[in-house]
């Protein structure tokens, strides 16, 4: 997992011959393509498609931060009223995901997990960086030596090969962290791509020496891209100026009780907004009931897309371009109804499509797969009344981010939601979602694909 790798940067480096090992041991034997990640395009929720085979809304992991309106209203002392995975609460991620989903760590008998929190089912000995991760994240936060963290991950990987793991998941964090600190094209970021390429080379040569290279499926991909950020919208203060008492991180004790709104940011280019309804927190507001608030958001130069549910549970979407409604009908077809102009600027997208058609028609637009991604996210009971996606160049958090985010992700637009995919087998499918890799891995390793997987195998 080349966390934060952009599809276009990866492709450019590949075409220049700057990723020689990835070319030799993966792409030349298989396929390079681009895949659509998920909304929110942020680590944690965007790992769920790979590890659980489900969209984040469907395994109830709607963001890096979320708020449970019912528990907030009902219970004072519960660990599940709200969450931020930035910090120690990340240790609760495995308890937050829905029990119906099965992780690849639960399916395969011997596994290896490196620098990834979404690890339910990973045995103690297979999650080699369970504590090292906290140490490295704290150290990296202060000395910005994420290169050392990625090399430490490489060393753990190489040392673990003797245990013959059947499934191994390694997250390299340098691209994402150096992009946040600088920008996605900075030298330190590009060197992080090179370092991953080196790791792939050493891994492949080691597997070759062990005589196991040809029987090993190698996948290199990402969970999101990043874009440079020149301005931060203080969306919390904006809500407070509108009169809300807004619950938000890190000030969780300010409105431990008594908040009438919440703002839970991911990436930081996306946020979930929750508003207490006149009937109390238990009842979710419809999009139309919040129309004034929606319009005041759309008027903001930083805000791109706002979406919520109508009284029928259908998604309503609005941007300064236009408005529309989208839903999945009983036959599982995606229905799309524009009220005036298309909110995404889509041109000629049909009003009734199956999920693969929805991907095909939107893949080469500025908002690949946005319809299904918004629909899946708003299925989570922990999602906001409204979900907001920022415009390129902006994010939605102006305070408490130290160091400052010079690049962001989490949003719906192409540069943040499209990721590279390299795999050492030929794949047939033309348009790919990251959620397709879960059934593909199970298929190729001869395991049954659990019901409820959101993806389709790339090898038919
Ligand atoms: Zn990030």
- Dump the DSSP string for 333-352: -EEEEESSS-TT---S--SE
Instruction: Report residues near ion ligand 1: CB below 5 Å.
Output: 176
Q: What dihedral angle (degrees, nearest 10) is formed by the CA atoms of 201, 207, 210, 215?
A: -150
Q: What token pair was written down for 92?
A: 């609760």
Segment 20-48 shows an average pLDDT of 98
Output the CA 27–ligand 1 centroid distance in Å.
26
Residue 68 Cα, ligand 1 centroid: separation in angstroms? 23
Spell out the domains of the chain, with CATH numbers in brackets.
7-57+101-226+412-444 (3.40.720.10), 231-405 (no CATH)
% of the chain beyond a pLDDT of 90:
90
236-271 pLDDT, tens per residue?
999 999 999 999 999 999 988 899 999 999 999 999
State in Å: Cα 396 to ligand 1 middle.
14
Question: What is the Å distance from ligand 1's center to 43 Cα?
Answer: 6
Q: For residue 206, report the distance from its CA to the centre of ligand 1, in Å.
A: 30
Ligand 1 mean position, distance from CA 311 (Å): 34
pLDDT band (50, 70, 90) for residue 129 = confident
Q: Assess whether pLDDT exceeds 90 at residue 402.
A: no
Band of pLDDT at residue 439, cut at 50, 70 and 90: very high
> Smallest Cα–Cα separation from 378: which of 47, 48, 95, 66?
66
Residue 142: band (very low, low, confident or very high) from pLDDT cuts 50, 70, 90: confident
Interval between CA 224 and ligand 1 midpoint (Å): 8
Instruction: State in Å: Cα 229 to ligand 1 middle.
Output: 13
Q: Give the closest residue to 329 by CA, choosing from 313, 316, 347.
A: 313
Q: What is the pTM of this model?
A: 0.97
Q: What is the pLDDT of residues 60-95, one digit of tens each?
A: 999 999 999 999 999 888 999 999 999 889 999 999
| CA 391 to ligand 1 centroid distance, Å | 17
In angstroms, the CA 263 to CA 245 distance is: 10
Could you tell me if 123 and 180 are in contact, meaning their C-beta atoms sit under 8 angstroms apart? no
Q: Which residues of 263-287 are buried (b: 16+ CB within 10 A; e: fewer)?
A: bbbbbbbbbbbbbbbeeebeebbbb
């Amino acid at each position: 997992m080349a966390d934060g790798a952009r599809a276009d940067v990866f492709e450019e480096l590949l075409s220049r011959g700057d990723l020689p090992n990835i070319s030799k041991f993966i792409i030349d034997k298989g396929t390079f393509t681009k895949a659509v990640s998920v909304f929110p395009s942020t680590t944690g929720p965007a790992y769920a498609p790979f590890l659980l085979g489900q969209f984040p809304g469907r395994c109830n992991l709607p963001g890096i931060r979320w708020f449970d309106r019912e528990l907030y209203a009902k219970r004072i002392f519960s660990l599940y009223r709200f969450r931020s995975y930035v910090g120690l609460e990340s240790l609760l991620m495995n308890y937050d995901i829905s029990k119906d989903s099965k992780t690849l760590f639960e399916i395969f008998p011997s596994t290896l997990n490196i620098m990834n929190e979404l690890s339910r089912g990973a045995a103690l000995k297979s999650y080699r960086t369970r504590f090292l991760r906290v140490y490295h994240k704290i150290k990296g936060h202060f000395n910005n030596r994420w290169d050392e963290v990625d090399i430490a991950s490489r060393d753990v990987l190489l040392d673990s090969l003797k245990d013959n793991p059947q499934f191994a998941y390694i997250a390299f964090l340098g691209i994402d962290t150096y992009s946040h600190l600088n920008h996605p094209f900075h030298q330190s970021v590009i060197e992080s791509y090179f370092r991953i390429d080196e790791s792939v080379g050493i891994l492949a040569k080691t597997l070759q020496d062990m005589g196991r290279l040809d029987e090993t499926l190698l996948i290199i991909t990402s969970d999101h891209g990043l874009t440079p950020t020149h301005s931060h919208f203080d969306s919390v203060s904006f809500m407070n100026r509108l009169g809300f008492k807004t619950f938000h991180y890190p000030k969780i004790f300010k409105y431990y009780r008594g908040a009438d709104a919440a703002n839970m940011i991911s990436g930081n280019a996306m946020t979930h907004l929750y508003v207490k309804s006149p009937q109390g927190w238990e009842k979710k507001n419809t999009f139309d009931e919040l129309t004034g608030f929606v319009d005041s958001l759309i008027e903001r130069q930083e805000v791109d897309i706002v979406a919520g549910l109508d009284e029928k549970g259908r998604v309503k979407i609005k941007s300064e371009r236009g408005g529309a409604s989208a839903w999945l009908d009983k036959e599982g077809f995606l229905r799309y109804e524009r009220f005036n102009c298309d909110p995404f600027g889509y041109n000629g997208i049909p009003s009734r499509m199956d999920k693969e058609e929805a991907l095909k028609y939107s893949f080469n637009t500025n908002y690949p797969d946005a319809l299904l991604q918004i629909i899946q996210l708003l299925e989570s009971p922990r999602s906001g009344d409204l979900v907001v996606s920022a415009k390129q160049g902006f994010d939605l958090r102006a305070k408490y981010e130290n160091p400052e985010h010079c690049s962001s992700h989490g949003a719906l637009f192409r540069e943040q939601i499209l990721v590279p995919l390299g795999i050492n087998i030929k794949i047939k499918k033309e348009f790919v979602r990251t959620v397709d890799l879960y059934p593909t891995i199970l298929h190729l390793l001869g395991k049954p694909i659990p019901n409820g997987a959101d993806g389709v195998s790339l090898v038919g």
